Amino acid sequence: MATDTAKISQLKSAVANLSQISESEKTGFVNLVSRYLSGEAQQVEWSKIQTPTDEVVVPYDTLAPTPEDPDETKKLLDKLVVLKLNGGLGTTMGCTGPKSVIEVRNGLTFLDLIVIQIENLNKKYGCSVPLLLMNSFNTHDDTQKIIEKYSNSNIEIHTFNQSQYPRLVVDDFVPLPSKGHTDKDGWYGMKGCFNLIEEKKKSVNLR
């Protein structure tokens, strides 16, 4: 226990000096590591994962039909917000930017098709369904430039970043950025796990 306490104390001191993240992110990261060291954080037991039942994921054909009155449909759409995860890079598919800009059909990208779909809804029903893109530090700058092409469309596009956490070195539980690795390799986007990095830079995901 003393060793774990010392690790957390050292971690808090190191994280406090990381100017790249907010105070809430620092607190969240330290709490996550503390849970891992205490044994509270458990790895996923994949053998217990089961297919969701119809009570959890409602079959599409059992949903109530769209109201015949366009005004009623508009009232429903006025409550709708479309959120897309946009934090991953498409490097494994030959793309140097966000996966959403990969061309998929007739010169259109994933993001183009999403925007067109929402635009059609807005035009047909006179509503204003917004699109929210959750970026990561890897995709934020590129996405800000990409969405400029939609500035004249009838859709509001908003972006925000998922939390950014530092990678840890296994040997001493010191954040990699605190060891001088200030580039993007020293960080990862928070998606429910944190990374421990061995000196040979081998990543291990812990949930």
| Chunked mean pLDDT (size 10), the chain, 207 residues | 77 90 89 82 79 86 89 94 90 82 92 96 95 91 94 93 86 84 78 46 38
Instruction: Tell me what pLDDT residue 41 has.
Output: 62
Instruction: Tell me what pLDDT residue 190 has.
Output: 67
Q: Collapsing DSSP states into helix, strand and coil, what is residue 207?
A: coil
Instruction: Tell me what pLDDT residue 91 has.
Output: 78
Q: Contact 110/104 with Cβ under 8 angstroms?
A: yes
Instruction: Tell me what pLDDT residue 191 has.
Output: 55
Gap between the Cα atoms of 144 and 161, Å rounded? 11
Question: What tokens does 87 get?
Answer: 């934090």
Instruction: Tell me what pLDDT residue 144 has.
Output: 94
- In this structure, the strands spanning 187-189 and 164-166 are antiparallel
Determine the residue type at 177.
Answer: P
Instruction: Tell me what pLDDT residue 83 has.
Output: 94
Burial class for 171, CB neighbours closer than 10 Å (0-12, 13-18, 19+): exposed
Question: What tokens does 139 get?
Answer: 């995709």
Instruction: Tell me what pLDDT residue 197 has.
Output: 47
pTM of the model: 0.74
